[in-house]
Amino acid sequence: MNTKLLIMSLLFVSSSGVAHQLKSAKTTVHINRVNGHVEVLHRYYVHDVEHAAEVLFGTNTDIFTNMEAQKRFADYVSEHVHFKVAGGKRLSLVNLGTHIDGPFFIVYQETQSSGKHAIVSMQNRVLQDIWPEQINMVYFEEKNSIRSLHFDKGDDWLPIIFNEAR
């Protein structure tokens, strides 16, 4: 519990007026029990996205006002985040939109349906092709529990383990 408090404190302190790249991101994954869709919210620091967009799309990319650049970044995220269900089948993510919220650039995605299949592993390599030190934290909300994954440059597919059976 103390580790979570420390991480949250560091994220809060680091998000207040920092003008350098932080090279960390947070993703929240929620299984919608009503429709079976997997809802995904990625939160990147705008300053990191600005620098990444320049590398990915060219030096004149304006991530703040250029909707096409925002869409291209969301597409880039889709190319670098994957889920697998039991049996090894990958779930396709659909981009729902993006927006800027203070210091954060938000990307919303979902799968059309996870059906009755449990997600068993995830891959998240967003921005690690640009910055090897990029850290991608992922939080899975399942019923009354939260599980987290920590993606470093060397990580490939990481298993998602819940205590309760679905």
Q: Which amino acid is at 78?
A: S
pTM score, whole prediction: 0.82
Q: Give the percent of the chain with pLDDT over 70.
A: 81
Return the pLDDT at 56. Answer: 93
User: How wide is the angle at C-alpha 163 spanned by C-alphas 110 and 79, nearest 5°?
Assistant: 25
Domain ranges of the chain: 23-159
Distances (CA, A) of 101 to 43, 51, 108, 131, 145: 9, 17, 13, 23, 27
Return the pLDDT at 126. Answer: 97
Query: For the segment 8-37, what is each residue's pLDDT rounded down to a tens digit?
Result: 444 444 444 445 678 999 999 998 878 878
Return the pLDDT at 103. Answer: 95
Task: Write out residues in the chain with pLDDT < 50, as ranges.
Answer: 1, 3-18, 164-166
Q: Write out the DSSP string of 98-165.
A: EEEETTEEEEEEEES--TTPPEEEEEE-TTTTT-TT-EEEEEEEETTEEEEEEE-TT---EE---SS-
